[in-house]
Amino acid sequence: MPHFLPARRRHRSLVASAVLLAWSAVGLAQTAERDGGSAGALAPVVITGDGAWQQRWLAPGSIEVVDGDELRAGQLQINLSEGLGRVPGLVVRNRQNYAQDLQISVRGFGARAPFGVRGVRLYVDGIPASAPDGQGQAANFPIGSADRIEVIRGPFSALYGASAGGVIALYTQDGQRPAEWRSGLAAGSNGLWRFSTQLTGQTGSAAQPGWSYSLDVGQFATDGERAQSAASRATGNLKLSRAHEGGRTVLLLNRQTSRALDPLGLTRAEFDADPGQTTSVATQFNTRKTVSQTQLGLAWEQALGQGHRIELMGYGGQRGVRQFQAIPTGAQIPAGSAGGVIDLARDYWGWNARWRLDRRYDSGEHLTVSAGLASDRQTEERRGYENFIGPTLGVLGRLRRDETNRASTLDPYVQAEWRTPDTTLTAGLRHSSVRFTSADRYVVGTNPDDSGAVRFDGFSPVLGVRRELTPQLQAFASLGRGLETPTLNEVAYRASGLTGLNPALNASRSVSAEWGLRGRQAWGTWSATVFETRTRDEIVVLSNTGGRSTFQNAGRTRRHGLELAGLLQWGRFTVTPAYTWMDARYRDGFLTCTATPCATPTVPVAAGNRMPGLAKQQAYVQVAWEPGWANSVFTLEAMHTGRMAVNDRNTDATAASTLFNLGVRFEQNRGDWTWREFLRIDNLTDRAHAGSVIVNEGNNRFFEPGARRSVYLGVELVRRFP
């Protein structure tokens, strides 16, 4: 059953959130103009003040924009992995395991995460979907009401704070006239189904508009690709916005609940014998996870005259998680063990206040300067229980851990941009200060007091330049320094696997650079980017057994590569290619563990080894054909993923794979009514492949099988109200 907070704590947190929002204590709102209309976006950091599509062309860094209609067209609208394959440098792997979320990495950042998203910052309408400690979840992204998704890669992502090796920001639609209602149903292989409804519109009259509203509710369920992988999720997202003289107010509410079984990974022998099987311990312990999350947000902006503007944003929420792991009963005997059940109740909130100056000159120059202060907080009641009672496994047993963990950030930042018709110069600086504290209440017998505190801080400067060589060709370059702090989960266990903050784990620090060309011709657009990132004190998995991970620092690493992307049109054909070549290696050797517990690592990892979970090559191409009848569109996608090492020692790797997806969609219009239908076949050739890997898994269960051939059907009905 889902875990809910005690009534007293729930009431206290909601009151605190309401007070916070009422005072508008956080800053950061921006109205983004796109194609002549308002996109209703709240932007954590302004790269440029223009519309989303112009932003990509004018920015001195790597920004990709995926339109919401593109994201949804002929798709299930469940996971980000469905529509972001066209973004080079970005990897979104569907683990086929909803207990662990998607595996997301940007230019190698985030690949180590055994669950959730780390090293990559996530936002929905400017509200963080990443916790203050850097861990995020993409499950609450409202794809059904997305206006667009922006993906920021390279040095400029560091301006979003610590642990921002990349940024994925979703912006939802604003309600406009005429009002629109959409309802869609999709179903297919493995008992999967999704039902969702969106409603957008505006109160008042055209002459005197009132509140714009956008509501998105949905639910999906699946029996899963393997045994012990069934899941269900319900989400709701409400956005209210209203313009006032010289400003705007936006209110946001998001709710998500989910239940998912966890099939765990497979060993090489299990994967080769039958990739559709589930390891026996997953069913023995009934590994599973339940999540309940509610979040509120408020943003307000006001022009002060002469180009000055103040922007405020605040948010607060609660998240409850209960997860049953496959920790063997014998491993739970030591006094410092946390048991085999994780029980979290998290309250979180944050604010951001920003001043902005926006000046345009008659000669065509444009100056933007902004400065602000951002802060985020989370308080986490963390309990651990045994996952057995006597001989019965997979049940809530005795309490083995009880502590309060807190994470806080405080980040001042400043950014300036000077733009002429053919040149953009951008400079930014952010100082990130991250503090973790832990108050241990479970001091029983020989179990010691594990209370403690750790702190990380550092500056993130960024410089960038864009130069237009011709009206159809431009060059850009940027250089920056970033800071990645470990998450609370990563510092929660010491090398021995016992509880207590790990004071030996440091933040990693990186220097990134990129150089690129962008072009636009009558037949389409294209980009080519060379990048390099050098990191010291890289955070790596030390041991990972039964769903519990410990971490250490591993010296210096280097990631360098090439990204190519384009959008090409010839007659009725549209071709969308993306290619990434990346070589990611450890520059220093270090020692690691192959078993748990492991008080002292003794197994060597050689300098020059490949970083696990990262393919050297990744390619994507979609060919879309519009034959001109019945408003139909036929698509063929090809996705290639190169070999991936599964551990730091490079003792095994996944095989390279190429998958094909085939789709067709139709649309019929009758006055104010529109019908849309789609059919898609994923993994057309029924290729057995590893969809993702669990890095350094202590039981050698590295492999998470990808989906075999799957068939899906969907229908959507749209009604517009004059």
What CATH number did the domain enclosing 389 receive? 2.40.170.20
Residues 6+ apart with CB under 8 A from 476: 59, 60, 61, 424, 464, 465, 466, 467, 515, 516, 517, 518
* Residue 2 resides in a domain: no
Beta carbons within 10 angstroms of residue 36's beta carbon: 6
Range in 228-237, 376-385, 542-551 the model is least confident about: 542-551
Residues 6+ apart with CB under 8 A from 259: 2, 231, 232, 233, 288, 289, 290, 291
Structural tokens at position 351: 């604010």
* Residue 130 resides in a domain: yes
For residue 697, the 8-state DSSP code is B
How far is CA 520 from its chain centroid? 29
Question: Per-residue pLDDT averaged across 476-503, rounded?
Answer: 83
Check: CB of residue 375 under 8 Å from CB of residue 411: yes
Q: How does residue 501 score in pLDDT terms, banded at 50, 70 and 90?
A: confident
Range of the domain at 366: 7-721
* Residue 1 resides in a domain: no
- pLDDT of residue 397 exceeding 90, the answer is yes
Question: Per-residue pLDDT averaged across 449-459, rounded?
Answer: 90
What sign has the CA pseudo-torsion 296, 116, 491, 325?
Answer: positive
Check: CB of residue 111 under 8 Å from CB of residue 641: no
Residues 6+ apart with CB under 8 A from 50: 33, 58
- pLDDT of residue 593 exceeding 70, the answer is yes
Q: Which residues of 167-188 are buried (b: 16+ CB within 10 A; e: fewer)?
A: bbbbbbbbbbbebbebbbebbb
Structural tokens at position 205: 């009259």
pLDDT score of 51: 52
pLDDT score of 697: 87
- In terms of Cα–Cα distance, which of 171, 122, 141 is closest to 235? 141
* Residue 637 resides in a domain: yes
CA gap 674, 653 in Å, rounded: 48
Check: CB of residue 136 under 8 Å from CB of residue 110: no
Strand 62-67 and strand 146-153: the pairing is antiparallel
Burial class (CB in 10 A: 0-12, 13-18, 19+), 210: exposed
Task: Compute CA distances 143 → 68, 231, 269, 710, whole Å.
Answer: 8, 18, 37, 21
* Residue 306 resides in a domain: yes
CA gap 233, 220 in Å, rounded: 6
Check: CB of residue 287 under 8 Å from CB of residue 97: no
Per-residue pLDDT tens over the stretch 229-275: 999 999 999 999 999 999 999 999 999 999 999 999 999 999 999 99
Q: How does residue 496 score in pLDDT terms, banded at 50, 70 and 90?
A: low
Question: Per-residue pLDDT averaged across 289-311, rounded?
Answer: 95
pLDDT score of 446: 83
Q: How many domains does the chain fold into?
A: 1
* Residue 651 resides in a domain: yes
pLDDT score of 122: 93
Give the position of tokens 């001195």: 60
pLDDT score of 711: 98
Burial class (CB in 10 A: 0-12, 13-18, 19+), 424: buried
Structural tokens at position 55: 């932003």
The residues that bridge with 464 in the sheet, in sequence order, are: 426, 478
The residues that bridge with 289 in the sheet, in sequence order, are: 260, 323
In order, the DSSP letters of 606-671 are -TTPBPTT-BSEEEEEEEEE--SSTT-EEEEEEEEE--EESSTT---EEPPEEEEEEEEEEEEEET
Share above pLDDT 70 across residues of the chain, in percent, rounded to a whole number: 90
Give the position of tokens 């034959």: 627
For residue 159, the 8-state DSSP code is G
* Residue 557 resides in a domain: yes
* Residue 31 resides in a domain: yes
Count CA atoms closer than 13 A to 325's CA, side-chain side: 23
pLDDT score of 335: 83
Bond before 178 cis per omega within 30 degrees: yes
pLDDT score of 4: 36
Question: Per-residue pLDDT averaged across 426-444, rounded?
Answer: 93
**What is the amino acid identity at position 160?**
Y
- pLDDT of residue 172 exceeding 60, the answer is yes
CA gap 9, 20 in Å, rounded: 16
Question: Per-residue pLDDT averaged across 164-189, rounded?
Answer: 94
> Mean pLDDT highest for which of 28-32, 81-85, 221-225, 485-489?
221-225
- pLDDT of residue 2 exceeding 60, the answer is no
Mean pLDDT of the chain: 89
